[in-house]
Structure 1
Amino acid sequence: MNTRKLLLSTVLLSAVFASCKKDKSSDPAPVVQENISGEVSGTWAKNGTYKVSGSIIIPEGKSLTIEEGATVIMVDSNAKPEIIVKGNLYCTGTAANPIHLTIPEEMKGGNQWGGLWGGIIAAPTCAELLLEYTEMDYGGAVTTEESASVKAGLYKAAAGEHVPALYVSNVSGKLVVQNCAVHNFREDGFYIEGGSVILDHNKFYTTGLDNGDAINIKSGVLADVAYNFVYSPNTNGLKLSNSGDRTPQAYVIGYNNTVVNAGWRRPTTKGGSIWLEKTVHVDLYNNLLANDRYGVKRDKGNPEDSRSIVGYTLYFGANQTCVDQFQPSDEILTGVNDMVSTTVGDNDPKFVNYPTSTDMANGTFNTAWDFHLQAGSPALNAGKTGFSRHFSTAITMNGMAYTSPEPATYIGAYGTN
């Protein structure tokens, strides 16, 4: 290359680098908004911080999109804000850049069970609700006469009720929750009374102080519930019911879920892993139940739909009480190819990093625990595949297609690392 060409190339490269540097330095700073309350819609920007001082309402016919990396902080523990969704809500976090619905850091100390804000409460007019890679914590506040949900006649529409992390009530609506986390929440995780629903790859821990289930589904729902991990819910990992007698009949296909230490913190006995009642129609496959208070349990006075199928469940119990309460009875269901512990320690799932001797009533979660399976786990190559799901054909929401994941050849929410 001659000297002139070399000089020209150097100048051009310098200009490119200078342009790149200028573009980077001129990127807008992340949005910070204060004192948010009342009606909201539009877009909350990527990596923005939104400080909510009172309940917010997405009006009917409008939508709010919360972009990846946004942090929504409920700043007033006296107001205990709620998110009321009369229109549509789209939380579009990513694995690398999730959304966080939370409280100020200084309010978290010494408060394991939250109750400092409400939850997401969707009205029957909410047509679409999407949560992807969204973390919710420290909510589940008790309602008062001034609560937005009480004034709007939503959820239980009464003062004195702890609200769940997510409540949905439109039987014609669409709900997709994928790769989300709910923790340090005083009440139920999800309470769903209607819609076409996909719940997959979610995590629940430190939920339900006095009672509550991780996923609570009622009539009016067609749901695929898969690859969810639940640690130490107060009562059940899944409570499945057709109560309310809405159309359609509740029909839940639940597969490849892991539920650990369920039910032991409830002072009275009811369920303690998966509970079925009131003609709910279920197909349950490939679920791993470890150290739970009971096996899959029915309300024998008002049981599940006779078409229901239960099978390919792995049970593990680290003490005799646990093992005894897995055994088949008129209340405890077993199915084809279930692996039911008959002695303490049978069917050890061989979690990568979790001491199965941990107190079963423990509600404190160690994020270093790893519930993937080691080589040699009886859960590997023991799952059922090939069964139908409601939404192997996609739910379309906000212009995007969402499908239920394929079942795995292993049992539980996680295979090997």
Structure 2
Amino acid sequence: MKTILNKLMAVCALGIMLSACHKAEVVNISQPFVSVANGITSDTLKGTIKGTLLAGKTYYFKSDITVNDGDTLLLQSGVHLIAIGDGLSAATSPEIFMHGTFISLGTKDAPNFITVKNAADLHTQAAAQNYTNVFFGWWGGINCTPAAATTANPSPKGGDAIIKWTHIEFAGGPAGANDNTAIYPSGSPRYNIYFGNVTKNLIIEDSWFFGAKDDNIQVGGGHISIMRNTFELCGGVGGEFFNMKTGTLGDIAYNVFIGSATNATKISDSGTSGIQCTAAVYNNTMIDGGFRQTKSGRGGSIDFEKGARGRAYNNLIVNCRFGLRITPDADFTNVAYGNQYFYGYSPAIVAQFYSADGAPSVTANKAASDIYSTTPQANNPMFYAFDVNQYNFTANPGPLSANVQTYPSVAIGTSNLKLQSASPGLGKGKTDFSPLGSVTATGTYGTTITPPGKDIGAYQNDGTGNQH
């Protein structure tokens, strides 16, 4: 397993822990012109589709849609793709089966939405359909995998998923006969996105995710670059914001994770791909995570387990049920960590900055570069506009039901998560390491990797980092 990974990482002069593959952020790309191939003019999608969803238009689907191997579905900016579903069965919770390439090119001024009806009202908070029942699971999400082999196509390749400035929300409808039971057992909730293709890229930049019933995104193999996104309130009684399995390699940086049921990120080498799951998790902001997980001993922020390896630096972890967790079965000697900034409202949260069932633990292996205190409510990160003490966590927090940890208590809303000039997190980031850089493509259909920042968390005092 490690031999294959080491060959992949040979391009880095010093290996994963001290690599120097990327020294500067890829320059910002000017607004691209994206040509139209097979422009789709009907507002109703069904069956097998390919082509371009045209800028500014709204499209609907109420049954499963499929993009075949070798085909592409591209969303120009300002597209609204609306799932008409009730979440009661697989037949009435439509899914997108993406066996080809998926590209959603929203922009800052004209983002795309892949959501349920009344989305426009929801984002002005004028409708209650889904904020009232946030974990109901109205549709089936996007499933990105190679197609099943056939005589005509014995070796389907699948495609990349490239998602920029896009809102994806409210998936979780129960799986049915069309789903692969290795991914979704019958009746289980489906994710906002499932991606599984060890040879292809999952690129998600500057986008928003909300209201998945279980996992928000699960990756069963692939090259990933997850940059500058916002993840809010996913998972009813379990589920991760970003769950990566064996065969997954890449970077998770400058994201805001707020209100996860379990972890913000789980890095696990469970599976049989033969390519060791490896992630660089840096400069993220993680808030109020882990409290809806009903199973004991898990959930909160960053979790390395089951043979996974990588690094974790410069993450701001605020009021999460558990802090950095590296379980005994992780590849601990190949996990580098430090420069985490912890804040806890209550004694129980402070006691789990370093998870008691892992290393680093409360008594050993803590990083000297971390910012933490054994005193509750010490080291307030000093956000410009977010009260870290607004939610009255109990002395032994969790599990909390969704009707207790409500949308207003864990949503960003009009908050500003940048750090004030007196914050202890400014200037305390580690910058002498490089992203993993598993995704090498750049430009309109590639990634823009933001390198490690000198300030802890997703927002940098110089204006770089998360742009939400």
Q: In 2 relative to 1, CA 31–86 (structure 1 residues): closer, same or farther, beyond 3 Å? A: closer
Q: Distance in 2 between matches of 1:154 and 1:194?
A: 17
Corresponding residue number in structure 1 for 2:377: 345
After alignment, is 192-201 or 365-374 more displaced? 365-374
Task: Identify the residue that residue 25 of structure 1 maps to in structure 2.
Answer: none
Comparing both chains, which one has the higher relative contact order based on Cα–Cα distances under 8 Å and sequence gaps of 6 or more? Answer: 2
Separation in structure 1 between the aligned mates of residue 111 and residue 182 of structure 2, nearest angstrom: 27
> 1:339, CA displacement in angstroms?
1.3
Identify if the C-alpha distance between structure 1 residues 402 and 295 changes in structure 2 by more than 3 Å, giving closer, same or farther.
Answer: same
For the pair 1:260 / 2:305, whether they are aligned, the reply is no
Relative to structure 1, is the Cα distance of residues 260 and 101 closer, same or farther in structure 2, using a 3 angstrom cutoff? Answer: same
Between the two proteins, the alignment pairs up a number of residues equal to 381
Shift of 1:34: 3.8
The 5 A counterparts of 1:63-212 are 63-77=72-86, 79-105=92-118, 107-108=129-130, 110-124=132-146, 125-145=157-177, 148=178, 150=179, 153=180, 156-212=183-239
Instruction: Provide, for residues 242-262 of structure 1, a one-character-per-residue CA deviation record: whole Å limited to 9, x for no partner.
Output: 110313211101100111111
**Separation in 2 of the partners of 1:312 and 1:298?**
16
Give the deviation of 1:406 after TM superposition: 1.2
Aligned pairs (5 A) from 1:10-409: 33-77=42-86, 79-105=92-118, 107-108=129-130, 110-124=132-146, 125-145=157-177, 148=178, 150=179, 153=180, 156-269=183-296, 270-300=298-328, 302-327=329-354, 329=356, 331-333=358-360, 334-359=366-391, 360=393, 362-364=405-407, 365-391=411-437, 394-396=440-442, 400-409=445-454
Q: Separation in 2 of the partners of 1:206 and 1:355?
A: 17
For 1:181 and 1:276, the matched residues in 2 are separated by 24
Change in 2 beyond 3 A, CA 1:210/1:393: closer
Higher alpha-carbon Rg: 1
Distance between the aligned counterparts of 1:396 and 1:409, measured in 2? 24
CA pair 325-102 structure 1, distance change in 2 beyond 3 A: same
Provide the aligned C-alpha RMSD in A: 2.1
Q: Whole-Å Cα distance in 1 between the matches of residues 139 and 423 of structure 2?
A: 41
CA distance in 2, matches of 1:57, 1:70: 18
Amino acid at match of 2:221: G
Q: Could you state the TM-score of these two structures normalised by the residue count of structure 1?
A: 0.86
Which consecutive unaligned segments of at least 5 residues does structure 1 have? 1-29
Instruction: Kindly provide the CA deviation profile for residues 100-143 of structure 1, in whole angstroms up to 9, marking residues without a partner as x.
Output: 01111174363222400011101133221100001011212121
Call closer, same or farther: CA 1:257–1:357 in 2, change over 3 Å. same
C-alpha spacing 1:155/1:228, structure 2 compared with 1 (3 Å): farther
Name the SS for the 2:174 alignment partner: coil
Offset at residue 405 of structure 1 (A): 1.1
Could you list the per-position Cα deviations for residues 342-379 of structure 1 after superposition, in whole angstroms to 9, with x for gaps in the alignment? 10122211011111123255241141122111111011
**More displaced 10-residue stretch of structure 1: 338-347 or 307-316:** 338-347
Counterpart AA for 1:45: L
The whole-number CA distance in structure 2 between the counterparts of 1:262 and 1:68 is 32
CA contact (8 A) 1:32 1:49 kept: no
Q: Which amino acid aligns with 2:68?
A: P
8 A Cα contact 1:327 1:340, kept in partner = no
**Alpha-carbon spacing, 1:393–1:164, altered in 2? closer, same or farther (3 Å):** closer
* Aligned partners of 1:392 and 1:403 also within 8 Å: no
- The aligned residue for residue 152 of structure 2 is none
1:410 partnered with 2:438: no
2 CA distance for matches of 1:75 and 1:114? 14
Q: Deviations over 1:368-392 (max 9, x none)?
A: 1221111110110000113122228
Question: Could you report, residue by residue, the CA deviation over 1:178-201 in whole angstroms, capped at 9, with x for unpaired residues?
Answer: 011111221111101111110011
- 1:75-102 Cα offsets, whole Å, 9 max, x none, are 2326211111101000011011000011
Distance across 1 between alignment mates of 2:289 and 2:331: 20
One-letter code of the match for 1:104?
A: K
More divergent stretch after superposition (322-331 vs 196-205): 322-331
Return the offset for 1:393: 7.6
Partner of 2:123: none
Matched to 1:86, the amino acid is H
2:452 maps to amino acid: P
TM-score, with length taken from structure 2: 0.77
**Structure 2 unaligned spans of 5+:** 1-38, 119-126, 147-156, 361-365, 394-399, 464-468
| Structure 2 counterpart of 1:18 | none
Aligned to 2:149: none
Contact 2:223 2:438 in 1 (8 A): no
